[in-house]
Amino acid sequence: MKKWHRFSIARFRAMLVKEFIQMRRDRLTFGMMVGIPLLQLVLFGYAINADPKHLPAAVILADHGPEGRTLLSSLQNSGYYNLVRQVKTEVEGHDLLARGQVQFVVNIPENFSRDFVRGDRPELLVEADATDPGTTGNAIGSLSTALNMALQNDLKGPLESLAVNNGPIDLRVHSLYNPEAITQYNIVPGLMGVVLTLTMILVTGLAITRERERGTMENLLSMPTRPIEVLIGKLVPYILVGYIQVGLILFAARFLFHVPMFGSLALLLTAAAVFIIANLAVGITFSTIATNQLQAMQMTFFFFLPSLLLSGFAFPFRGMPGWAQMIGQVLPLTHFVRIVRGVLLKGNGVGSIGLELWPIALFAAVAMFVAMKRYRQTLD
C-alpha cells in the first residue's frame, strides 16, 4: 500500500508521454502555440509605432509670400507632416478632417508675409483631428520648434529685431473633437467595436462546433432543414446580445465617462447592425471549419489579435507601415472604430459613415458566403 503514495517516476513519465502524444495529434493547437507568438512578434515588432509620422495634412494657402512657403516646407521636413493637398476654404478643410482623410489642416491666412515683415505676429492656425490624442500629440509638440528653426534663417539682418521672446508668429493649435485630449473619449467608443468583435465571434464560433461535439449535429442534420435556416437561426439571437452590449457601452460612455455624443444614435445603431452581422458571419465560418470548441476559440484569437492591434483602436493607424494598414483596412473593426468615433465625437452624418460602412458590409457578405459553402448538410 505504502509505495503507492510515493512519487513514481514511471507514472510521471507515463503522463508525460501521453501529453506529448496528444499535443502532437492536435495539429491546430500546436500550430497556434507557434503561430500566436509569431503573430505577436510581427505585429508588435513591425506594425506598431506609438510615434506616428508623415501624418496627412491639408493646407489652406491664402498668402503666397516666401515665409508661408518656408513654414510649410519646415513642417514637411519635421517628418511629422505630409502635406498632401491644398484646399480653398475652411469648410473644405473641416470636411476632410471629419472624414478622417487628413489629420491636420494648416491655415496660412491672407497677408501672412506682410504682417510677418511688419512684426505684427501673424496668426498660423493648425487644426488637428485630435480624436486620438496619441496620434497627434508628438506632431503638435514638434510644431513650435520646427517653426522657430525655420524662421531663424529669415530673421537675420534687418528682421533680427523680430526674434523676440514670444516668437515672430502667433501659433494657434485647435485640437478638434477632443480638445482636452481625454483618452477615454477615444478609447470608450472604440471599445464598443472591440467588445463586439471578441464576443460575437466567440459565441458563434462555438455554436456549430458545440452541436458537433455533443453529437446533436447528427440529429439536426437528420431533420429536414436547410443550411440557411440553421445558420440564420443561430445568428439572430446574438444580434440581440450584440445590441445589449452596444447599449451598455453607450450608457457607460454617456454617464460614466461623459463622452460627447454629437452624431445621430440611430445612425450608429444601424451601422452597428452591419458590424455585428459581419462578426457573427466570421464566427459561423470558424465554426464550420473548426472540429471542436477549443479550435474555434483559437481561431477567434487568431482573428481578434490583429483586429485589436491593427484597427487603430489601441495604436495609431497612421503609425503603421503600408502592409499593416492594408491588412487593417480589410478588418471590420478598423472601419467600425472610425464610425463610432466619427458619429460620437465628430457628429458625422450618413455621407462619411457610408464610406466606412461598405467595407464592413462586403466583409460580412464574403464571410457569410464562405460559411454557407462550408456548412455541410451531410456528415461526409
Partner 1 sequence: MNGESAIDVRGMTKRFGDRMVVDHVDLDVRAGEIFGFLGPNGSGKTTFLRMLCGLLRADEGRGTCLGHDVINESEAIKREAGYMTQRFSFWEDLSIEENLDFVARMYDVKNRRQTVRESLKQLGLTERKDQLAGHLSGGWKQRLALAACLIHKPRLLLLDEPTAGVDPKARRDFWDEIHHLAGEGLTVLVTTHYMDEAERCHRLAYISRGKLLTHGTVADVIARERLTTWAVSGPDLPNLTAQLRERPGVEQTVAFGNSMHVSGDDAVALKQAIAPFRANNYEWHQVESELEDVFIHLMDKSPDTSSS
Query: For partner 1, which is the closer residue by CB, 149 or 220?
Result: 220
Q: Which of 119, 218, 350, 369 forms a contact with partner 1 (CB under 8 A)?
A: 218
Query: For partner 1, which is the closer residue by CB, 19 or 229?
Result: 229
Rg (CA), the chain: 27
Distance of closest approach, residue 91 Cβ to partner 1, in angstroms: 58
What pairing do the DSSP bridges indicate for beta strands 170-176 and 123-129?
A: parallel
- Please list, residue by residue across 99-123, b when 16 or more beta carbons sit within 10 angstroms of its beta carbon and e when fewer do: bbebbbbbbbeeebbebbbeeebbe
Distance of closest approach, residue 377 Cβ to partner 1, in angstroms: 8
Position 224 contacts partner 1 (CB under 8 A): yes
Grid coordinates belonging to 34: 507557434
Q: Which of 8, 22, 183, 216 forms a contact with partner 1 (CB under 8 A)?
A: 216
- Rounded to 10 deg, the angle between the 332-341 and 350-374 helix axes is 150
Q: Which of 223, 240, 244, 266 forms a contact with partner 1 (CB under 8 A)?
A: 223
Distance of closest approach, residue 207 Cβ to partner 1, in angstroms: 13
Position 214 contacts partner 1 (CB under 8 A): yes
Distance CA(72)–CA(253), nearest Å, equals: 38
Q: Which stretch binds partner 1 (CB under 8 A): 42-50, 173-181, 222-230, 312-320?
A: 222-230
Query: For partner 1, which is the closer residue by CB, 238 or 317?
Result: 238
Position 225 contacts partner 1 (CB under 8 A): yes
Task: Give the contacts of 152 (CB within 8 A, at least 6 positions apart).
Answer: 163
Q: Which of 84, 221, 361, 366 forms a contact with partner 1 (CB under 8 A)?
A: 221
Q: What is the DSSP letter of 175?
A: E
Look at residues 264, 267, 200, 259 and name the one whose alpha carbon lies nearest to residue 234.
Answer: 200
Q: Which of 153, 222, 255, 322 forms a contact with partner 1 (CB under 8 A)?
A: 222
Contact yes or no for 296/205 (Cβ under 8 A)? yes
Q: Starting at the edge strand that comes first in sequence, how are the strands of the sheet with 104-108 ordered?
A: 81-87, 55-61, 104-108, 123-129, 170-176
Residues 229-258 binding partner 1 (CB under 8 A) are none
Q: Which stretch binds partner 1 (CB under 8 A): 197-205, 220-228, 235-243, 267-275?
A: 220-228
Instruction: Give the binding site for partner 1 (CB under 8 A).
Output: 214-216, 218-219, 221-225, 378-380
